[in-house]
Structure 1
């Protein structure tokens, strides 16, 4: 007899945010992984969200994207999409979650919020995410972005070793 599924179903969560708050997020279908084509399509939807939420940013061509060096983020298709959007990419060393604001700030807080919660369906999860994002002030997001230069200094002072919080 097969054993019941002992592990909860995991959902890939992709989020883009700035110092004001959440710009766009997506939950990927359970059978989908991030490829350069998927990521490029996400960037197009992010661009649409920016046109709606931050038109001044788009109009002055001032988007600076900070993402890590995962293969889909550095692939030719993605690079072409970023050129098309005229977005600048802030360099990020490989395997450096300690200097990625989503990892050291947003996801840590989200993980604490979700701790022990179980969701029966994707709609319940989306409602919880909406609740979490709404519970955070603009100062929360601002602080996460403004911590980045401090984190860079810590990495240099640690000779490139991970920052342990």
Structure 2
């Protein structure tokens, strides 16, 4: 967790915010006492996430489809090689695409709130 905080601090020095908000789903490791306690100690606020809303994961809106397309057909013998390829590809995605994914996430989040967490289609 100290590495996470260090990376966050490095990023915050580049942008005009001193507050860290984290969005992740309700997976067991994310909700574990050790994780939530460490995040609290680091001063990282976790945004609430509906119990089952996979369509609200920002990565699913932009990053995963791009990565899937760019890495299709490639084989990796080691997890380190895969991680290196993913990081390399993520660095080539324009900032506007990340911003677009965030805007799309906001739209989906609004629909989720308006539907009171019920399933919805068409976005």
TM-score range, shorter chain: 0.7 to 0.9
Secondary structure at the counterpart of residue 117 of structure 1: coil
Root-mean-square deviation (CA), in Å? Answer: 2.5
1 or 2, which has the higher strand percentage?
A: 1
The counterpart of 1:140, out of the listed 91, 97, 119, is 97
Number of residue equivalences: 122
Does structure 1 residue 51 correspond to structure 2 residue 9?
Answer: yes
Following TM superposition, where does structure 1 have runs of at least 4 consecutive aligned residues deviating by more than 6 angstroms?
A: 56-59
Would you say the 8 A contact 1:65–1:87 is kept in 2? yes
Deviations 1:78-131 (A, max 9, x none): 121111011111111122110110223212221222221112334432332233
- Residue 148 of structure 1 deviates from its aligned partner by 1.7
TM-score, normalised by the number of residues in structure 1: 0.62
Distance, in Å, in 2 between the alignment partners of 1:117 and 1:162 is 35
Structure with the bigger percentage of helix: 2
1:38-77 paired onto structure 2 within 5 Å:
41=1, 44-55=2-13, 60=18, 62-77=19-34
Bigger Rg, which one: 1
